[in-house]
Amino acid sequence: MNIAYILISTPSDTFYEQTAISVMTLRKVMPNANVYILVDEDTKSTFKDKRTILEKYNVNIITVDVPSKFNNRDRSRFIKTSMNKYLPKDFVYIDCDTIIYESLEELPKEPVVGMVLNRHMKISESPVKDFFEKNAKNFNWHDGYNDKHFNGGFMSVHGSEKSDALFTLWHELWNESREKSNGTVFDQTSLNEANYRLNGAITEIDGIWNCQINRNCRCMPYIHDAKILHLYTNKKMYAHDMAKNEIIRSVLEDEHPELDKILANPKAAFNDVYDLNTDFYAVEMSKTPAYIFLKKIYENNKVFFNFYNLMAKLFLKFQK
């Protein structure tokens, strides 16, 4: 099986370390997989000193020419939206902020392009549907196809005219959005618009192949059987112990006991998580002025808050 990553990185970020962790976990369950890492020349030039750990895992580094004017984000997206040009016909793409828990050999063979729904839910169910819609409307696009918005962190690709058409259109739309925007470009928005224009070139596959773990996501039904844990190291979204930069960076050291402990049982590494707000109401309410107002009262005047809380209890009791 051909597994692909995209790595655009400098020593000041943790993308190299995240990729190293993902590849390290992949090799434990798929020692014979062909691993390809697509980079630009600037990233490749940083592969020295401690940033050589990937060499231990028998990976194929492919250097892609990217426009020099692009920042690192756009360099990564430039490669991602056209990666089929640089890889074998059939491949699986995986984001770097992942832990590979089990072999991927049982991936469905039928879909030309197989992907998992973003946050494991349809657009109409999603607490971020307004975010999807806003991004799409900026370019007069659609937020998905048949109520589905796919997550770009995992792709199972069986090369064909259909998959080539998807990548070609995706790359064109992403570049169009980059040129028209004020610097905020979402490659996933252009991916889902391309899927819409091609009348559903992407096929939904089970969430176990890209179990997206964050505090605002319907991930719980998939964790037990998950093949890939997609960790979201963004501090605003994380729910997994791996999100800590000091743990991620430790992979470059000779010893990393905390990292080893997490990788020994990654499906239980939620020591800093007390709830995931799985019904989403608490998440939505936390964005309202009413919640912010009550929070300030709670922080600054506990006596008044306790009185207010008592009145709320009496009201609820009376309502029953």
CA distances from 316 to 290, 293, 311, 319, 320 (A): 18, 20, 9, 5, 6
How distant, in Å, are the alpha carbons of 82, 83, 202 from that of 171? 6, 10, 15
Cross-sheet strand order for the sheet of 203-204 = 59-63, 34-39, 2-6, 90-94, 154-158, 113-115, 203-204
User: Angle at CA 187, nearest 5°, toward 182 and 192?
Assistant: 120
**Pairing of the two strands 113-115 and 228-230:** unpaired
Residue 299 banded pLDDT, cuts 50, 70, 90: confident
Output 319 or 111, whichever has higher pLDDT: 111
Predicted TM-score (pTM) of this structure:
0.86
For position 295, what pLDDT does the model report?
85
Question: pLDDT at residue 198 above 80?
Answer: yes
Question: Which tens digit of pLDDT belongs to each residue from 120-175?
Answer: 999 998 888 888 999 999 899 999 999 999 999 999 999 999 999 999 999 999 99
Measured over the CA atoms of residue 147, residue 152, residue 158 and residue 162, the dihedral's sign is positive
Q: What is the pLDDT of residues 204-235, one digit of tens each?
A: 999 999 999 887 788 889 999 999 999 976 66
The mean per-residue pLDDT over the stretch 240-252 comes to 91
pLDDT bin (cut points 50, 70, 90) of residue 2 is very high
Pairing status of strand 228-230 against strand 59-63: unpaired
In this predicted model, what pLDDT tens digit does every residue of 249-297 receive, in sequence order? Answer: 999 999 999 999 999 999 999 876 655 554 556 667 777 888 888 888 8
